[in-house]
């Protein structure tokens, strides 16, 4: 089982801070986990294209293999404020 953790608005959408995903095998990619999540929690589907994933201190890409020993963390768009070039509007 892989522990999947949610942050920000994803906690509201999923209705939980974390859930367990049953891995078919240990050699699985981030993208495959997200595909399974779409089936388990359909409400997440609309958010996933703008979601980044991390394990430990680092971001992981969709094609990366998941380390089943540590949680896969789903990070929605970060909302520190407006980005460069827009700062005069904040």
Partner 1 sequence: MQRITEAPLDVNTLLAETENDTCGAFVVFGGVVRNHHQGRGVAGMSYTAYGPMAEKVLEELEQETIQRFGVAECRIMHRIGKLEIGEASVLVAVRSAHRADSFEAGQYAIDTLKERLPVWKEDFYTDGSSGYQDGVPLETSEATETERGGRGHE
Contact residues for partner 1, defined by CB under 8 A: 7-9, 12, 48-54, 56-62, 73, 75-84, 87
CB of 20 to partner 1, least distance (A): 19
Q: Which has the closest alpha carbon to 3: 74, 75, 62, 76?
A: 74
Give the nearer residue to partner 1 in terms of CB position, either 42 or 81. 81
Structure tokens at 76: 């929605």
Give the nearer residue to partner 1 in terms of CB position, either 9 or 27. 9
Which residue is it, tokens 């388990």? 40
Give the nearer residue to partner 1 in terms of CB position, either 42 or 56. 56
Name the phi and psi angles at 58, rounded to 5: -120, 150
């Amino acid at each position: 089982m892989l522990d999947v953790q949610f942050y920000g608005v994803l906690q509201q959408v999923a209705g939980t801070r974390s859930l367990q995903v049953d891995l078919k095998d240990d050699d699985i990619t981030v993208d495959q986990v997200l595909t399974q999540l779409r089936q388990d929690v359909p409400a997440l589907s609309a958010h996933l294209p703008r979601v980044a994933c991390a394990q430990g201190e680092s971001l992981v890409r969709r094609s990366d293999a998941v380390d089943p020993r540590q949680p896969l963390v789903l990070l929605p768009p970060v909302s520190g404020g407006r980005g460069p070039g827009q700062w005069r509007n904040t």
